[in-house]
Amino acid sequence: MKDDLPLALIAVFVPFSLVSIGGGTSIVAGIQHQAVDVHHWLTAREFLDMFAISRAAPGPGSMLTTLVGWQVMGWTGAIIATLALFVPSSLLCYGVAMIWRRYRGQRWHTALEKGLTPVGLGLVLAGVVSILRINGGGVLSWGVALGSAALMSWRPRLHPLLVFALGGAVFVVARAIADGRLAL
């Protein structure tokens, strides 16, 4: 049985690699179903914890996959799951990127580029809204996001981590004030 685990991890994550259009968040529900309901690798509670950790960790949110692999098989599992998620889509992307760059300047390429760029930007904007919604800060989240954008446009060399720390501080103070008001 245990010999099949690496294969099972690959069989679960490779398809997710190729259907995860629009980034990691679109496949979370599918991974949960496979890992919790189908394979019983983790309990629902453990999965939620892993999800929370992957959101707190830096980098692409897809580190959730790494954590599931780690729960199943330790270091080996973490590496197998990560590669299974990133290698197939990366190979595809590499091939497309080569074609994409080779034909730059041709009419069909210019049309594709001009036509798809606004769609790509629209998707980034949609992603912004969904992150701010999960974030749960409402107007405050938008205020901090816009403020940080303004600050970093104005001073491009200002280190983003400084701006992030400022955002964190604003939230801590705002929540403390809100809690104080509730306590009264």
First-last CA distance in the chain: 59
What is the nearest approach in angstroms of another protein to the Cβ of residue 27?
9
What is the nearest approach in angstroms of another protein to the Cβ of residue 1?
24
Nearer Cβ to another protein, position 11 or 164? 164
182 to each of 127, 176, 178, how far by Cα in Å? 32, 10, 6
What is the nearest approach in angstroms of another protein to the Cβ of residue 181?
15
> CB neighbours of 93 closer than 8 A, spacing ≥ 6?
none
Count other C-beta atoms under 10 Å from residue 27's C-beta.
23
Q: Contact 165/60 with Cβ under 8 angstroms? A: no
Nearer Cβ to another protein, position 10 or 145? 145
Nearer Cβ to another protein, position 1 or 58? 58
